[in-house]
Copies of this chain bind each other. A is one copy, B any other.
Amino acid sequence: MHHLLETQQFDRDLLRSVFDLATKLENQRNDSLHGKILASLFYEPSTRTRFSFESAMMRLGGQVITAENANEVSSSVKGETLEDTIRVMNHYADAIVIRHPETGAAERAAAVSDVPVINAGDGAGQHPTQALLDLYTIERELGRLDDIHVVIVGDMRYYRAARSLSYLLGKFNNVTITGVTAPELRISDELREYLTEKNITYHETDVLPEAMKNADVIYQTRIQKERLSPEAYQRTKGQYVIDRSLADSMKDGGIIIHPLPRVGEITPEVDDSPHAVYFKQVGYGLTVRMALLSMLLGGKSVV
């Protein structure tokens, strides 16, 4: 197997290799992937994620062919299957980044692809590179991944990235996770069982200020309107906003991360707090993706 589909593919050793390479590639530009072509197939738009991969590819000297909105413009309109599209793309590209609204789409793509397929989000499924960059951010900022207390704010239930991160944290020792969410957005039984099995202590609360004081990491998330009833959304939306005074209440060295975009969950005055690392996180994401592309396209197997 040589695709990047889900965080379950990663053990501590592999994470180590990816993160070490990412650190080495920070601020680098080279021509190591000169002559290689990455295909960006975005069946739902995500300029941010697309640009991150494309910039990473270009910094390594590679080139990119792009379908900004593959859904509308590709032969999928004519009724072609995803499998056929991927078989065709195999002739054009040395790797394929795919974002797709259907869970399992990346896996289906990988099943028929000779070139590496990278899952950049498949519906309610996974978005593994986001989880990897979250984890890398934590390590770079805290200096460790064991012995940490992560507070996930807003949505433990539907937020793909928060869930994927939880899976990765399961590989480390003495990790505590606290979920600060409305009742509708609490952790699923499946994830709770996984955490128990991995010896992660899990707490639940709906009081943000208390949780912030003890956190090494605040993982703020965006409440997804479509997940809640209108009343629940109105009630929840404003409830877990991090403002400057909340940020200031954090202990020294504690960090606030966010997968972005934010739409009010963190107020702008927080941006220059020493705790705010959510924009720095974007840069970490770029280098993690450079490391992954380098490993996938340079011949080293990721899994």
| A interface residues with partner B (beta carbon < 8 Å) | 29, 35, 37, 39, 45-48, 51-52, 54-55, 58-59, 61, 63-70, 72-75, 77-80, 83-85, 87-89, 91-93, 222, 260-264, 268, 279, 282-283, 285-286
Contact = CB atoms under 8 A, between A and B. Distances in A.
Nearest to A68: B73
Given A68-B67, A75-B46, A80-B260, A89 B35 contact: no
Contact of A75 (B47, B63, B83, B89): B47
B282 A52 contact: no
18 contacts: A29-B35, A35-B59, A35-B61, A45-B74, A46-B73, A48-B74, A51-B65, A51-B93, A55-B91, A67-B68, A69-B73, A78-B261, A80-B263, A88-B260, A88-B279, A88-B282, A91-B282, A91-B283
A133 B21 CA distance: 42
A264 B93 CA distance: 25
Nearest to A263: B79
Contacts of A65: 51, 54-55, 58, 64
Given A47-B70, A67-B68, A88-B279, A261 B79 contact: yes
A84 B285 CA distance: 16
A89 B37 contact: no
A100 B286 CA distance: 26
Nearest to A67: B47
Contacts of A286: 91-92
Nearest to A286: B91
A282 B87 CA distance: 9
Contacts of A66: 66
A80 B260 CA distance: 9
Given A47-B75, A68-B68, A279-B87, A52 B261 contact: no
Contacts of A88: 48, 260, 279, 282
A146 to B, nearest CB: 28
A17 to B, nearest CB: 23
B261 A89 contact: no
Given A37-B58, A87-B279, 4 more contacts: A48-B88, A58-B65, A80-B263, A85-B261
B37 A55 contact: yes
Contact of A84 (B52, B74, B92, B262): B262
A117 to B, nearest CB: 16
A83 B93 CA distance: 33
A63 B58 CA distance: 7
Contacts of A46: 73, 75
A262 B80 contact: yes
A216 to B, nearest CB: 24
Chain B CB within 10 Å, residue with most, of A65, A66, A85, A93:
A65
Contact of A55 (B58, B93, B279): B93
A299 to B, nearest CB: 15
